[in-house]
Structure 1
Amino acid sequence: MKKLMLAALCSGLLATTAQAEERPDHFEGEAADSLAEAVTQFSETNRLLAELLAQDELSNADLGTVHRLSYTLENALAMFDAQFDTMAVDLEEVHLGSESVERERVRTHGEAYLEAAQTLVP
């Protein structure tokens, strides 16, 4: 029984290794250090993706480019996600501050919220 389990484990490991070798290379994509940078990368990379998808046919090289572009888009979306969380906290602080008449709280968090929001929609 132990031999059968060992054989099954080895077969599974070999299959996993073979499958991993068939996957395309992985890339890190362009990292965004700020929301403004993420917006720029998102816009430019979406434009490039749209150009590729507008073609009648996608070559293997095109698919490789799409694969690489997807990493930059994922990085931008991760930055958006983190920044949206921060914006939501700031906006909630504005809301709560306005209810409790805390002017400095409203001003501080309102300015932080608007700075991020204006990066998205000028």
Structure 2
Amino acid sequence: MKTDKFWKVRPFMNRILNGCCLQAAIEYVSIDEQMIPLTGACQFRQYVPLKPNPVSIKIFVLASADVIVLDFETYQGAKTLGLQVPDSEGLGLVALVIKRLSETLHAGTKCVVIGSLQPYKLWITC
């Protein structure tokens, strides 16, 4: 059984991700979620009724203060993300996302997690 639900487009996504990771080290970053509208049928789409486009694909994004994407992870289910992150037993979705996206941060980077990922601001210093 394939655990990566994006296996068909993974090579394309990895090329984009490699370009994102080549960005210069940035002092302040944030982790948030982005919703990409999708009307097609797929098993990993999300339905959020209060959004302008209620059916979407959820992507967790690590971005700079200038809104430059530095890293991202597509949501395929909490269990799938748990398989990708080492030492993830007992962690919730928010902790898994933070742990996964903070793997690519440089030493001294300050990160804030805001929005629906966290009801309060959480500062992380690497």
Aligning the two structures, in what range does the TM-score lie when normalised by the shorter sequence?
under 0.3
Please give the TM-score of this superposition, normalised by the length of structure 1: 0.22
Question: As a proportion of its length, which structure holds more strand?
Answer: 2
Decide which structure has greater helix share: 1
Relative to the length of structure 2, the TM-score reads 0.22
Q: Which structure has the larger Rg over C-alpha atoms?
A: 1
